[in-house]
Amino acid sequence: MWIEHVLNPKTITSIYSTEPPSLAQVQLHELSIVCGGDLQCKLRFDLKDFPADAPIKWVQRRCNTVQLTLNLIQTDLIQCTIPSGSGIGDLSIIHDGIRFQITFSTQPQGVVFQATATWIHVDSISGYQNEQS
């Protein structure tokens, strides 16, 4: 499981304690490439599923959507096509024992983003009230 290999898995497992969130049908909001010593990519997206045991403050604020921002560190082999449409697709994160293989695919375009990274850091996880949900 990819969560076991990120730098700070408790950020996610504290919210999704029983089962990790699905990366199917996520809504990609932002994909950015950060140049510097080690090339980085940031992916900011909404998860399809809201946690069963959401934090009390999320419930009180009537949140219905979880947004996750991942920072892919020491990224290379980046291939990207600008997705059209809603930005909804399937995110695949596979750890091969050494590196992460990250792919984002939409219908009908297929793979629109592909990269490898040495590390993944969970920059943020937050709940908000999505009017479209």
- Angle, CA of 16, 3 and 120, to the nearest 5°: 125
* pLDDT, average across residues 92-105: 95
What pLDDT band is residue 127 in, cutting at 50, 70 and 90?
very high
Quickly tell me which residue has 């809504």 as its tokens: 27
Q: What is the pLDDT of residue 27?
A: 95
Q: How far is CA 124 from CA 13, 17, 47, 73, 75, in A?
A: 13, 17, 13, 15, 19
Q: What token pair was written down for 81?
A: 């096509």
pLDDT over 90 (residue 25): yes
Q: What pTM was computed for the model?
A: 0.92
Taking only the tens place, the pLDDT of each residue in 44-90 is 999 999 998 899 999 999 999 999 999 999 998 788 887 677 789 99
Return the pLDDT at 118.
96
